[in-house]
Amino acid sequence: MVDTIKLDAEPREEFGKGAARRIRRANKVPAVLYANGHEPLHVTLPGHKTMLALRQANALLSIQRPGAPEQLALPKQVQRHPVTNSIEHVDLLMVFRGERVSVQIPVVVVGEPEGDVLVNTERTEITVEAEATSIPAYFEVSIAGLEVGAQILVGDVALPEGVTLDDDAEALVLSINAPVAVEETLESAEDEEGADEDAGEGDSEE
């Protein structure tokens, strides 16, 4: 499961591009916490620690504000600098213990297929519903021993107890295909066979 990461937050009362630049120069990140039925909370987060926390998919953050109780949150949107990739702004979604949320979970492929084949990946993550404090970090999908023609669908991915699918079960996650060179050889052979059959039919008509 995803670990809970504590971040100390400071109230933010200055807004606008100038204020945001001053915050970032101080190695901090402007952020907003959103929750249904509540006013957004504008805060400032520690820059380096926030960057490390957001490397983890679906990081569950424990936001600690002075004089306020712990507030759990999930990343909603992260804005990054187009050149340096540094975090410029973060939107967070407040969640509560026991609340179920819909999240996208990465799919990690493990194992080796049978022979010289091509693994065609269609989906790198799937959407599930889980408790906010029990979000899986990733799902493992094994391709060990699979041969050409094998497919793994979203519905084939094993989900832990308490996690339910919130996605199209029939969507393709990956397939095992023949290498391109082999496929081209097979297609050429089929074309040649078809040409020979056509020629044979023409001879018989004469």
pLDDT given at position 34: 92
* Structural domain boundaries enclosing 55: 4-96
Does 116 share its domain with 73? no
The reply to whether 200 falls in a domain is: no
Does 132 share its domain with 61? no
> Which residue positions in the chain have pLDDT lower than 50?
204-206
Looking at the 3D structure of the chain, how many domains does it have? 2
pLDDT given at position 189: 59
pLDDT given at position 32: 93
In the structure encoding, which two tokens stand for residue 153, read together? Answer: 């669908």
Does 127 share its domain with 164? yes
Half-sphere exposure of 168 (CA within 13 A, CB side): 5
How is the beta sheet containing 28-35 ordered, strand by strand?
A: 4-8, 60-64, 71-80, 87-95, 28-35, 38-46, 10-11
pLDDT given at position 56: 84
What CATH number is given to the structural domain containing 167?
Answer: 2.170.120.20
What would the pLDDT profile of 48-63 be if each residue is shown by its tens digit? 999 999 988 888 999 9
What CATH number is given to the structural domain containing 42?
Answer: 2.40.240.10
The whole-angstrom separation of Cα 98 and Cα 101 is 10
pLDDT given at position 205: 47
Does 23 share its domain with 89? yes
